[in-house]
Amino acid sequence: MDKGKSVVAELAASFSDVRVTPRQNPKTKSFLPSPSFSLSPNIDFKIVLQILPRRKLTIMSIARRRRLLNDEVLTSLAESSWEILDISGSDVTDAGLATVANVCSNLRAVDISRCEKVTTSGVSEIVCHCPSLEILRCGGCPRSEVTARRCLDLLKPKLNNLEEDSWEELNTLDIGGGAESLKWLVWPKIDDNSKETLAAECPRVTVNPQPSLFDLSGSKVPVEALASVPLDHSIVEDIDPKTWAVSAAPRRPVAPPNPNAPPEIPIAERFRLAYVEREARLAPKRAKRERQQRRRAERDYMMNDIDARSMALAAQASRNLRKS
């Protein structure tokens, strides 16, 4: 817990320039916290977390956009009232996803696309602990594509093997498994084999629904099931994008050109000069290698050919006679 609190404190420090602007309720004439944020250094963000605990989902969405979302931040902000969870493109792992699945059991829409550290283990926790899950987003990067293909068995409905004496005893037990409530699967780059498997074994699941009033099953397609709309768009649509803007690295100052400097060599000429230099450097090594290969070939020829061996022995014998 102490570590989680420290993470929230660090996150709060990064959002120290966020200010909540009150708005007036037209019905009650009272002032309520506005869902929109503006930039101002006038308030400590820790106070905002204490006054507005329901804004934690908004903070998580901003943290994801600022590339600060990981296991510690996610578990520190998790609330049981959450119904959507967008961790796409974050550093959340299976451990953080399992913790949130136990806390947020009412999730109905989850986006794990482009999460390179989430595997089938994390998806299994979401499927097991979130019986109301209707929308699942996945894929988007090579590792997430592999995870999505491996999770097909988790999405299939299945009956558990139960042995009881009467039907009355089965009333308190779960006789089914898998993602029973899943209706929409957002997987933009789904392969043909996976699509055929889902169509045959999960006909109730609509893959990549298109914007329309109703899908093939006659149900209205929610905005959360559209790939073109971020899952947490409704949470941050009233927030100034400058809140999560990450400043780019400062540019290095460019020195003014020197008029007395020699002209710059074209890139093609640089490649040519580099090639000539490399050939000159490797020429002695190549010549030495050729001499070694030629001597080795001559030695092999002398050892394998009978006539050449007899001539070599005769020449050696004649040299010995001359010496004597």
* Residue 71: inside a domain: yes
Task: Assess if residue 111 is contained within a domain.
Answer: yes
In the structure encoding, which two tokens stand for residue 177, read together?
A: 């498994």
| Cβ-proximal residues to 83 (8 Å cutoff; 6+ apart), any chain | 106, 107, 108, 109
Question: Domain of 219?
Answer: 67-160+175-243
One domain for residues 143 and 285: no
Through-space distance between the first and last CA atoms of the chain, rounded to whole angstroms: 98
Co-location of 107 and 226 in the same domain: yes
Contact criterion met (CB below 8 Å) for 9 and 50: no
CATH number of the CATH domain containing 139 = 3.80.10
Residue 147 in any domain: the answer is: yes
Identify residue 150 by its one-letter amino acid code: R
For residue 76, how far is the Cα from the chain centroid?
21
Whole-structure pTM value: 0.60
Q: How many domains does the chain have?
A: 2
Residues near 195 by Cβ (< 8 Å), separated by ≥ 6?
207
Over 187-241, what HEC string results? CCCCCHHHHHHHHHHCCCCEECCCCCCCCCCCCCCCHHHCCCCCCCHHHHCCCCH
**Alpha-carbon 39 to chain mean position:** 30
Taking only the tens of pLDDT, the chain with its 324 residues reads 455 555 555 555 555 554 444 334 444 333 333 443 443 444 444 444 443 556 788 888 888 888 889 999 898 888 888 999 999 999 999 999 999 999 999 999 999 999 999 999 999 999 989 989 999 999 999 999 999 999 888 887 765 554 555 444 544 444 445 677 888 899 999 999 999 988 888 888 889 988 775 555 556 788 888 888 899 888 888 777 776 665 555 556 666 767 777 778 888 888 899 999 999 999 999 999 999 999 888 888 777 777 777 777 788 888 888 876
Q: Does 228 share its domain with 84? A: yes
Contact (CB, 8 A) for 18 and 45: yes
